Amino acid sequence: MTLKRFSLIACLTISMVADTCCSWVFAEEAPPRSHVMLQGAWVPEHPHDIDFDHLPRVPSQHVVVSDVRKEKGVHQHNYLTFYEGQYWIMWSNGPGIEDQAGQRVSYATSPDGLTWSKPRFLSPVPPGSGPGSKVYGTRSPAGFRWIARGFWQRDGELYALASLDQSAGFFGPDLELHAFRWDSQAQAWGESQVIQDDAINNFPPKKIPSGQWMMSRRMHDYKKSGVQFLVGGDQAIDQWESVPVFKSDAQLAAEEPYWWVLPDNQRMVALFRDNHKSGYLYRSFSEDQGKTWSPPHRTDFPDARSKFSGVRLTDGRYVLVSNPHPKRRDPLAISISDDGVVFTKMGYLIGGRHVDYPHVIQHEDYLLVAFAGGKQTVEVLKIKLDDLDKLTMPSKPLVKPE
């Protein structure tokens, strides 16, 4: 066992014992935690020095689902799922710049993840903000927008989540999280239902060991109120308990958290991007299935301050798709971990341009990764798990040339 690995285990053990005695109101002195999230001979002493452009390549098939560059529109916030024998993808589709008034949610379907249907609108025109209105394509407090928030499969039914709020800033005071239910008989989306007031999630709910669902929550004033998690959704789709992770922007300017359950099927880890521009991901642990969380601490995993996505594979491994270059959203990379805490491999997926906001899912022997190109294209990579297994890291630090 290496000293680095021993230190990691020791720090986690100490902090787990300490955290079980704590409520969400943090002690002034947090228990010690390892910052290690990357490990291997290929990792340089300073992870920002990684030669991200020359990471080992992961083969994939690539397709563009929708492109609004000619229309000068925006495509962002991509989400995937597999339901009723086909892949589904959704995204935010708006005028001009991301999240302006009049933005709607679009979707498409595919039998194989490579041949996609013509995009169709999933959400209606936001109130008073359609083409021809005075507020369309503006950041006006009088305008409204939909933002795609992911697919949720619950009790055999498919829901599409989307937030609705005023378009002036992030976020409007009338912020709501809606769910549209797919009607398989009518082959159409029904009217939406509000499932949580004053909430925007980052990814759709996932089951936790208790049998409840969990997803992240940012309120309209999240820079003051902090990031939270919503736990519930099992009794009714609009019944949730909100659990704080930390209380304010003073602790961490957090955006777009992602979480997963660790191999013991009890503990959880959550990852956060840091808008204070450290260039690294932050991490928090829960020992009680999301009821309380440790204070977020900085890791050594580099990050471009962009949205990232992960999934636990059916073989037990964890993958994280992100923009690891600390200065730009290029390239998009995939990292692999055996334990959900430390990642030992990182492979190059696609780059040479602005690529961001990925969402990754596994279906059978493939991974699908949806992402945006320059916030104007919706694109998908299809990756064989066999090719991911072949990913080999260099035997010495992979450092960018001077």
pLDDT of res. 230:
96
Residue 41: domain span: 37-389
d(C-alpha 26, C-alpha 18), whole Å: 11
DSSP string, 249-290: TTT--EEEEEEEE-TTSS-EEEEEEETT--SEEEEEEESSTT
Is 230 within 8 Å of 215 (Cβ atoms)?
Answer: yes
Give CA–CA dist 369/102, Å, rounded: 27
Q: Say if 8 falls within a structural domain.
A: no
What is the pLDDT, as a whole number, of residue 251?
56
8 phi and psi angles, rounded to 5 deg: -60, -50
Cα(191)–Cα(172) distance, integer angstroms = 22
Of the candidates 211, 200, 84, which has an alpha carbon nearest to the alpha carbon of residue 149?
A: 200
What is the pLDDT tens value at each position of the chain, 402 positions in all? 444 443 444 444 334 333 333 323 332 334 456 899 999 999 999 999 999 999 999 999 999 999 999 999 999 999 999 999 999 999 999 999 899 999 999 999 999 999 999 999 999 999 999 999 999 999 999 999 999 999 999 999 999 999 999 999 999 999 999 999 999 999 999 999 999 999 999 999 999 999 999 999 999 998 888 889 999 999 999 999 999 886 545 556 777 889 999 999 999 999 999 888 899 999 999 999 888 888 889 999 999 999 999 999 999 999 999 999 999 999 999 999 999 999 999 999 999 999 999 999 999 999 999 999 999 999 999 999 999 999 999 999 999 887
By three-state DSSP, how is residue 36 classified?
A: coil
Residue-level length of the chain: 402
The confidence score (pLDDT) of residue 295 equals 86
* pLDDT at residue 249 in the model: 52
Tokens representing 297 are 């601490």
pTM higher than 0.85: yes
CATH number at residue 80: 2.120.10.10
Q: Answer yes or no: is 18 within a domain.
A: no
What pLDDT was estimated at residue 247?
A: 57
The structural domain count of the chain equals 1
The CB-side HSE value for 73 (13 A sphere, CA atoms) comes to 22
- At residue 392, the pLDDT reads 98
DSSP 8-state secondary structure symbol assigned to residue 54: G
Q: Is residue 11 part of a domain?
A: no
What pLDDT was estimated at residue 9? Answer: 40
Residue 401 lies in a domain: no
**140 burial type by CB count under 10 A (0-12 exposed, 13-18 middle, 19+ buried):** middle
In sequence order, the 6+-apart residues with CB closer than 8 A to the CB of 36 are: 4, 7, 8, 299, 300, 342
Map 96-154 to HEC letters: CCCCCCCCEEEEEEECCCCCCCCCEECCCCCCCCCCCCCCCCCCCCCCEEEEEEEEEEE
| 397 within a domain of the structure (yes/no) | no
Do 292 and 22 meet the contact criterion of CB atoms below 8 Å apart? Answer: yes
Q: Tokens 């992770």 correspond to what residue?
A: 245
C-alpha–C-alpha distance, residues 255 and 257, integer Å: 6
Q: What is the pLDDT of residue 231?
A: 96
* Inside any domain, residue 3: no
Structural domain includes residue 9: no
The encoded tokens of residue 122 equal 């999933």
